[in-house]
Structure 1
Amino acid sequence: MGQKLVGILLNAAMHRGVPRLKTGQESLESYEEAAAAYGMIPCFLQLSDINPESGFSIAYVKGRQGYVRTVIPTPGVIHNRAIYSQGSTGIDRLLGQGLLIFNTCNRYGKDQIHGLLEQNEALQCFLPDSRTGMSGLKEMMNRYSDLILKPCRGSVGKGVMRLSRISARRWTWSYLPSGSRRWLSSTVDPQALPRALRLRFASVPYLVQERIPLAELSGRPFDLRVTVQRGWGGEWQVTGMFAKLAAPGGFVSNIARGGEALSASAVLDQVFTGSAAACIRMSVTSLSLSIAHQLERSLPGLADIGLDIGITRDQRLYFIECNGRDQRYGFQKAGLSGTWKDSYRRPMGYARFLLEEPARYIRY
Structure 2
Amino acid sequence: MRQRSHRPLLGIMVTELNRKLPFGSSDFYEHLTYHGATKGLDVFVFSPNRIDWKQELVRGYTYLSERQEWVMKLFPLPSIIYDRCFFNNKESYQQYRYHVSKLRETPHIRFLGYGLSGKWEVDQILQKDNTLHLYLPETCLLTNGIELRKWFRTRSDVFLKPQGGSQGRGALHIHKIRSTDGISSYHIKGRDAHNQPIERDFKNFDSCWFWLRNLIGMRPYLIQEYLTLHSTEGMAYDVRSLVQKNGRGLWESTGMAVRIGKPGSITSNLHGGGTAEDVSSFLTKEFGDSKANELIATLAMLSSRIPPFLEAHHGRLAELGIDLGIDIYGRVWILEVNSKPGRSIFARTHNEKARTKSIANPIHYAGFLLHKKLS
State the match for 1:123 in structure 2.
Answer: 132
State the match for 2:155 in structure 1.
Answer: 144
| 1:307–1:323 contact (8 Å) kept in structure 2 | yes
Looking at structure 1, the residues matched to 218 and 75 of structure 2 have their Cα atoms a distance apart, in angstroms, of 43
The 5 Å alignment of 1:208-223 reads: 208-223=223-238
Report how far residue 164 of structure 1 moved.
Answer: 1.6
State the match for 2:49 in structure 1.
Answer: 48
| 1:159–1:176 contact (8 Å) kept in structure 2 | yes
State the match for 1:80 in structure 2.
Answer: 83
Alpha-carbon spacing, 1:174–1:62, altered in 2? closer, same or farther (3 Å) = closer
Looking at structure 1, the residues matched to 19 and 45 of structure 2 have their Cα atoms a distance apart, in angstroms, of 7
The 5 Å alignment of 1:223-242 reads: 223-242=238-257
> SS of 1:46's equivalent?
strand
Alpha-carbon spacing, 1:359–1:151, altered in 2? closer, same or farther (3 Å) = farther
Q: Does 1:206 align with 2:221?
A: yes
Report how far residue 224 of structure 1 moved.
Answer: 0.6
What letter matches 1:140 in structure 2? W
Alpha-carbon spacing, 1:237–1:10, altered in 2? closer, same or farther (3 Å) = same
The 5 Å alignment of 1:133-282 reads: 133=142, 134=144, 135-167=146-178, 169-176=184-191, 181-190=196-205, 192-282=207-297
> SS of 1:57's equivalent?
strand
Report how far residue 3 of structure 1 moved.
Answer: 5.2
Report how far residue 177 of structure 1 moved.
Answer: 5.3
| 1:91–1:104 contact (8 Å) kept in structure 2 | no
Alpha-carbon spacing, 1:314–1:83, altered in 2? closer, same or farther (3 Å) = same
Looking at structure 2, the residues matched to 221 and 272 of structure 1 have their Cα atoms a distance apart, in angstroms, of 15
> SS of 1:307's equivalent?
strand
Alpha-carbon spacing, 1:238–1:217, altered in 2? closer, same or farther (3 Å) = farther
Looking at structure 1, the residues matched to 229 and 365 of structure 2 have their Cα atoms a distance apart, in angstroms, of 34
Report how far residue 211 of structure 1 moved.
Answer: 1.0
The alignment's C-alpha RMSD in Å is 2.7
> SS of 1:115's equivalent?
helix
Alpha-carbon spacing, 1:351–1:50, altered in 2? closer, same or farther (3 Å) = farther
Q: Does 1:336 align with 2:351?
A: yes
Q: Does 1:323 align with 2:338?
A: yes
Looking at structure 2, the residues matched to 45 and 191 of structure 1 have their Cα atoms a distance apart, in angstroms, of 47
Alpha-carbon spacing, 1:35–1:265, altered in 2? closer, same or farther (3 Å) = farther
> SS of 2:283's equivalent?
helix
Report how far residue 76 of structure 1 moved.
Answer: 0.9
**Structure with bigger RCO (C-alpha 8 Å, 6+ apart):** 1
Q: Does 1:302 align with 2:317?
A: yes
> SS of 1:125's equivalent?
helix
| 1:175–1:184 contact (8 Å) kept in structure 2 | yes
State the match for 2:101 in structure 1.
Answer: 92
Unaligned segments of structure 1, at least 5 residues: none
Unaligned segments of structure 2, at least 5 residues: 1-5, 88-92
Report how far residue 285 of structure 1 moved.
Answer: 1.9
State the match for 2:113 in structure 1.
Answer: 103
What letter matches 1:117 in structure 2? L
What letter matches 1:211 in structure 2? Y
Report how far residue 25 of structure 1 moved.
Answer: 6.7
> SS of 2:30's equivalent?
helix
> SS of 1:291's equivalent?
helix
State the match for 2:9 in structure 1.
Answer: 5
| TM-score, normalised by the number of residues in structure 2 | 0.85
What letter matches 1:96 in structure 2? E
Greater CA drift, 5-14 or 172-181: 172-181
Alpha-carbon spacing, 1:15–1:104, altered in 2? closer, same or farther (3 Å) = farther
CA displacement 1:48-79 (0-9 Å, x = unmatched) = 33445544433322334333223333321111
Greater CA drift, 37-46 or 9-18: 9-18
What is the number of residues matched between the two proteins?
355
| 1:175–1:185 contact (8 Å) kept in structure 2 | no
Alpha-carbon spacing, 1:279–1:359, altered in 2? closer, same or farther (3 Å) = farther
Report how far residue 287 of structure 1 moved.
Answer: 0.6
Looking at structure 2, the residues matched to 204 and 302 of structure 1 have their Cα atoms a distance apart, in angstroms, of 26
> SS of 1:193's equivalent?
helix
